[in-house]
Amino acid sequence: METILLKDAKKIFSLGGEKVHALDGVSLSILSGEFVAIMGTSGSGKSTLMNIFGCLDTLTEGEYHLEGVNVSGMDKARLADVRNQRIGFVFQGFNLLPRTTALENVQLPLFYSRKRKGDNPKKRAAEALERVGLGNRMDHEPNQLSGGQQQRVAIARALVNDPAIILADEPTGNLDSKTTLDVLNLFRELNLQGITIVIVTHEPEVGQHAQRVITMRDGRIIEDHLNGKALHPGGRVGGASLPNISGPREAIS
What is the H or E stretch that residue 123 is in?
helix 121-131
Q: Contact at 8 Å (CB) between 102 and 39?
A: no
Summarised one tens digit per residue, pLDDT across range 45-87 is 999 999 999 999 999 999 999 999 999 989 999 999 899 889 9
Summarised one tens digit per residue, pLDDT across range 137-161 is 999 999 999 999 999 999 999 999 9
From the list 122, 119, 162, the residue with the least C-alpha distance to 139 is: 122
Is this prediction's pTM over 0.75?
A: yes
Q: DSSP letter at 198?
A: E
Paired strand residues for 66: 4, 69
- As a whole number of angstroms, the distance between CA 99 and CA 75 comes to 34
- The third-level CATH classification (topology) of the domain covering 34-55+75-226 is Rossmann fold (3.40.50)
- As a whole number of angstroms, the distance between CA 1 and CA 3 comes to 6
